[in-house]
Structure 1
Amino acid sequence: MATEYGHGYESWGGERRRHRVPAGVRAPVEGRSWRELGYVVLGLPIGVVMFTYAVTMLSIGAGLLITFLGVPVLAAGLAGARGLGAVERARARVLLGVEVDAPEPLRPKGRGVMAWMGAVLRSGASWRQLLYAVVQFPWAVFSFGVAVTFWVYGWALLTYPLWFWVFPVWVGQDGLQLYGDETHAVYLNNPFEVTVTALVGLLFTMATPWIVRGLTMVDRGMVVALLGPSRLGARVVELESDRGVVVDAAAADLRRIERDLHDGAQARLVALAMDLGLAKEKLAEDPQAAARMVGDAHGEVKTALQELRDLARGIHPAVLTDRGLDAALSAVASRCAVPVVVDVELPARPVPAIEGIAYFTVSELLQNVSKHAGASRATVDVWRVDDRLMLQVIDDGVGGADVGAGSGLAGLAERLGAVDGILVVDSPAGGPTRVTAELPWRA
């Protein structure tokens, strides 16, 4: 979930709607301003609890480190800080619309309580969340004082024409006292002064939401920086996920090769062996029939060889190894059902792994063009930008391709993501379809 405000639009929970009232006018009464005020107000009592907990557990744990008791106390304190961090992430998500992923999980080196305590104490995320519990408190005090002061004074002055009668009736003075000493006093009681007071209150009321918004920007920064995953931890999780994708893809490829061998060349070779056995038996009694059977077997051998060549090309084409992407993609384009123009402009060849992924990416995209696009022509462009290899396949078909629709594009995007690649699909209904892939060069 993301929050985007500005230019007359509001987005919350994925919905985007246009406002006719300018942002400066509607800010004091719109939901976002009240949610942000609620975040700041709740921040003070929550900050007191977190600060007290963090300082207490840290002090006791550090003081007991001269004995073994300090280690479990510190571990328990850090574990509690992680729980408080989860509460703060939820509060930021509900009231500020900020989605922050949970930090990297604990990785105990073994089993048991000791391994768990060691994982907690080694976890940088645990210490960052404990740090958040400490630094959030003084900021919560400051932001609470500023926000509540501006908000209360703004609305009090704005509504002064509605309640200034309270002073002469219940307090015994003409109005709100602006100044007073032993000789004279100034009260806001005539129509002009009451009007000016309300206008000043209006300015305060209109400015307060933006002041609170600025205060919560600091809160957003602290939540993201201290309660979310670190860059290193996020990278480790991403690499683990990518490794799983690569392993699954490799297993799927092995199953496909096994299936193709079993159902294709292997079955054909078994039948060929049986035919040659029958021809051997008939060789003495019916040489002509045996010759015909040998001729048929020769045709089967050619077919089996062609299937094996196709299978080998599907694993890794020899033309790619020998001549590079330009020749290999031209060969793929020649087998496409529609005319394809290939333009490859590369100063050098990327590493073989990236070159192979680029080849199979274009191959799969052209297969989609042949089977599903309903196109009359297509183009393939390959070029290099800095340290990235760029691929683009465009067709003039019916469009409507979607990565998230459970198609082969989703699997292709996962494979590219496993090597830090990106797949972007632009395919409006009616076409054209433009698929752009970006891969690391790694030369």
Structure 2
Amino acid sequence: MWRQAGQLMLNLPLGIAGFVFTVVMLSVGLALAVTVIGLPLLAAGLSGCRSMGAFARTRARSVYGSGLHEPEPLHRPRPGITGYTTAHLTDALSWRSALYNVLRLPWGILSFTVTLVCVIVGWPVLPWVIRFGAAVDRMLLEALLAPGALSERVRELEDDRGTVVDTAAADLRRIERDLHDGAQARLVALAMDLGLAKERLRETESAEDVQAAARMVDNAHGEVKLALQELRDLARGIHPAVLTDRGLDAALSAVAARCTVPGGVKVHVELKAADGTVERPDSAVEGIAYFTVSELLTNVSKHSGARSATVDVWRADDQLMVLVQDDGKGGAAPYPGSGLGGLAERIQAVDGVFLVESPHGGPTTVTIELPWRTRTARR
């Protein structure tokens, strides 16, 4: 309470300084706008207002715990003084910071006076006065100094785009590596074996040569089967045919059957809408749900020490909900760079939610919320 009281009383000296700086710089800059130095001076004033706004956001976070996010750094369309001036004159946050500096003076006078009077003579109502003043202070900060909803959405989309690009590049590298180290190497060995067998058959002069050629062909046949199995596994890693043909229920059941948890994995999928109709989600959402559950069950098998696990999938309005639970040792966390962190980034790229509850000693519960239709599919 006393920290908030100090914040309200500091609004007056900070408001005076911000008001004087803003009025002087903007007035001089506008008055000299017809000259060479007018607009750059105005831009310098707006830059100072933006810096004061950053300081106000820092104070708000330290005192109120406010969730004010820092805006993106100011983007200059071109270098030099022209780019500097253009960037600040066209930046909405700079102008809103200037308005905040102007409005903070009358608000600072009011908040300083009321708080001081309550501290001296009205202390019985001081907690309520401070609570109300802090709420008004936060509203003013969030209305004028918080990044705009559009800029926040653009930043989210840029982050999501980067995540999708990185994920696609990693998948391409994995496919290339698997092809190079697996099926391609086996096919090269197969071609060599068949070439040797052909040469041996051409030079056949005895039964031993025929048997040697037959063994080469037999080895080549084994290599063909192994290469086909590796190609099938690779295709399943790209997009399993069972998911396309039969949907999430059959695909997740197949993943659960391959899981090595001793007690097995129980899968329950219910995709009925509120009106009773059964509809499949968007194919991209199906793919994300499938690969997420597949990787989660792989982690359960390798790291959790669980005896059993469950996978529940259902539809909630326009959301696809997935719940994966195991009775393992717990301690899982989606920290950056981890496998769970990568899953979280992939799900957030489609405006999904990824929550992990995994206390030490277990159990572990992973909740996933995905949109039933992606934005592209809705359009």
Q: Same fold (TM over 0.5)?
A: yes
Corresponding residue for residue 191 of structure 2: 273
CA contact (8 A) 1:38 1:95 kept: no
Corresponding residue for residue 330 of structure 1: 253
CA contact (8 A) 1:102 1:227 kept: no
Q: Whole-Å Cα distance in 2 between the matches of residues 98 and 325 of structure 1?
A: 41
Give the superposed CA RMSD.
1.9
Q: Secondary structure at the match of 1:343?
A: strand
Q: Whole-Å Cα distance in 2 between the matches of residues 50 and 236 of structure 1?
A: 30
Q: Whole-Å Cα distance in 2 between the matches of residues 423 and 328 of structure 1?
A: 21
Q: Whole-Å Cα distance in 1 between the matches of residues 53 and 106 of structure 2?
A: 17
In the alignment, is residue 348 of structure 1 matched against residue 273 of structure 2?
no
Corresponding residue for residue 248 of structure 1: 166
Corresponding residue for residue 26 of structure 2: 58
Which whole-Å deviations, capped at 9, do the CAs of 1:323-362 have from their partners, x for residues lacking one?
A: 2212211221221113222221113112221111111111
User: Closer, same or farther in 2 for the Cα pair 1:68/1:321, shift >3 Å?
Assistant: farther
Structural mapping, 1:337-416, within 5 Å: 337-338=260-261, 339-346=264-271, 347-404=278-335, 407-416=338-347
Q: Secondary structure at the match of 2:335?
A: helix
In terms of Rg, which structure is larger?
1
CA contact (8 A) 2:40 2:81 kept: no
**TM-score, scaled relative to structure 2:** 0.90
Q: 2:39 aligns with which of 65, 68, 71?
A: 71
Gaps of 5+ in 2: 272-277
**TM-score, scaled relative to structure 1:** 0.77
User: Closer, same or farther in 2 for the Cα pair 1:91/1:395, shift >3 Å?
Assistant: closer
Q: Whole-Å Cα distance in 2 between the matches of residues 68 and 139 of structure 1?
A: 36
In the alignment, is residue 300 of structure 1 matched against residue 184 of structure 2?
no
Q: Whole-Å Cα distance in 2 between the matches of residues 73 and 223 of structure 1?
A: 26
Q: Whole-Å Cα distance in 1 between the matches of residues 226 and 168 of structure 2?
A: 27
Q: Whole-Å Cα distance in 1 between the matches of residues 11 and 260 of structure 2?
A: 63
Give the count of matched residue pairs. Answer: 361
Which whole-Å deviations, capped at 9, do the CAs of 1:260-309 have from their partners, x for residues lacking one?
A: 11111111112212222222222223121011110110111011011001
Q: Secondary structure at the match of 2:324?
A: strand
Q: Whole-Å Cα distance in 1 between the matches of residues 267 and 227 of structure 2?
A: 31
Per the TM alignment, residue 377 of structure 1 is displaced from its structure 2 partner at its CA by 2.3
Q: Whole-Å Cα distance in 2 between the matches of residues 274 and 112 of structure 1?
A: 64
Per the TM alignment, residue 66 of structure 1 is displaced from its structure 2 partner at its CA by 4.6
Q: Whole-Å Cα distance in 2 between the matches of residues 377 and 38 of structure 1?
A: 55
Per the TM alignment, residue 432 of structure 1 is displaced from its structure 2 partner at its CA by 2.4
Q: Whole-Å Cα distance in 1 between the matches of residues 265 and 241 of structure 2?
A: 21
User: How much identity, in percent, do the aligned residues show?
Assistant: 62
Q: Secondary structure at the match of 1:381?
A: strand
Which whole-Å deviations, capped at 9, do the CAs of 1:28-51 have from their partners, x for residues lacking one?
A: xxxxx3222221222111101111
Per the TM alignment, residue 406 of structure 1 is displaced from its structure 2 partner at its CA by 5.5
Q: Whole-Å Cα distance in 1 between the matches of residues 5 and 190 of structure 2?
A: 81
Which whole-Å deviations, capped at 9, do the CAs of 1:157-196 have from their partners, x for residues lacking one?
A: xxxxxxxxxxxxxxxxxxxxxxxxxxxxxxxxxxxxxxxx
